[in-house]
Chains A and B, each alone.
Chain A
């Protein structure tokens, strides 16, 4: 970590990666994780990567529709990518199980269309391992 670089609160700047296991439709992990990421950036920190594993890959859905009076955590993740360029990666083996396909995987498996939001990409667990190796903190959100 570069010496002498501090966040708004006076603490040294931190490189974070996030591991998200929670589905956006149930529980608290998805909402909390996205809010954490926005707060960390607001304090001046950086997010190296957000890795979505298991049911967490459902956050990458382009097809879920929520009632108008409910907040969609997936939109908060997308904003993280759009506004701050944060890399959002779905674990490929989980994503395939949950039907989260990018255009390449849809074509490879003979499915008619991609199902993931283009703000997200799919890749292997190596991206999580890499995130651990290159981050000061790995913060996990489940449940």
Chain B
């Protein structure tokens, strides 16, 4: 049970997170939505203690994690794994080493500096890469992988920590629709099969609806919606994103691939009124030919 009690975070004058109260039971899959700057990332970072709250407490199974220091704090970091939008792997180290880095907190500093990973840990890393479908790139430098593959490596590293909670900060925001689906499926699988609580920030409403049993909406640092996907009506969503009626439809920002995709008009067509670019392109093509 993760309990957030009146947590506030200020950056100078600006209030990023404003007196947030939440209860997240174990094993829940939670999506946090809201506009950029609504405080979603700040909230996740405070849960993991990458940053400290200005006010309020965060409790996990009764332990006040906002008061942790030193090795106790690092143990909490381990129990509360984090997935980042930019993956945050070590680009020059190979994929397998990157995954094994998830074990750092399970061993002494000396053992990890000497590279003393046990056979079990190596097998565990390979199995995790296999489960996420990136085992074929295990010996490549992580920086040479595609975004979707890197994010799966990041999930494998998080799983090596044997966490109780997985936080994901916009895990699919820099991925294409197919990779986004693979990554979200992996997170859902972790949640279902391993029973790990997953809290994820999302940009796209339909992803939150599809994967999360509970959706939390934030606006200007406050929680303004907390309920099931069914309760998140279009009117609620408009309120959440602070838009008026016109010009807002979920499909515009959707990254999902639906069956009727073929019948939709192709989005990229030269606009009728703007012929200059097309003419220029045609002239260039003729000149080259």
A and B associate: no
